[in-house]
Structure 1
């Protein structure tokens, strides 16, 4: 049978150990949260940077298409005209592959 006299020292030792263990677990959890937050922030910054680069490229492409759109179409037609003269007047459009010619 248990003697209550042994229970008091056991509780006196167990309670501080539990408190220390609990604080340690809490600190580990906080470190995991901080680590996850840092990684998430870093990825968000990388995504923002990549989105900005893509937006810059799209702006350049939009400028090319809108500023020189007519000029590009004229150049393509001139290439078609040159090609039809060079290959003997076949007049094959540029978008037709060699398999479709045969």
Structure 2
């Protein structure tokens, strides 16, 4: 009985190899292309986030410089602007 299965198994080895070449390789290539596209999109988003972070850091540096250079004057300006806003005769609508 086992001796009868040996030729069948011997024939199945090349059949499985051919099927894997026809099915598995293209699937693996597709997955590789999908991963490359995904990594490219991720890299682009990371670059955009880095650029935005840099812009925000520059703005914070400017604000810090304004505050440290003109600390009391800025507080006085804010108070003056607040007072101007409360006495503004224009309607809020």
Gapped regions of structure 2 (runs ≥ 5): 1-7
Structure showing greater Rg: 1
RMSD of equivalent CA atoms: 3.0
| Alignment CA distance shift 1:60-1:20 (3 Å) | same
Q: Greater helix share, 1 or 2?
A: 2
TM-score (norm 1): 0.59
Gapped regions of structure 1 (runs ≥ 5): 1-6, 81-92
Aligned length: 79
Task: Report how far residue 44 of structure 1 moved.
Answer: 0.4
**Match for residue 43 of structure 1 among 38, 42, 45:** 45
TM-score (norm 2): 0.64
Which portions of structure 1, spanning 4 or more consecutive aligned residues, are displaced by more than 4 angstroms? 11-15, 74-77
Partner secondary structure for residue 70 of structure 2: helix
**Comparing 65-74 and 25-34, the one that deviates more:** 65-74
Instruction: Answer 1 or 2: higher relative contact order, Cα 8 Å, separation at least 6.
Output: 1
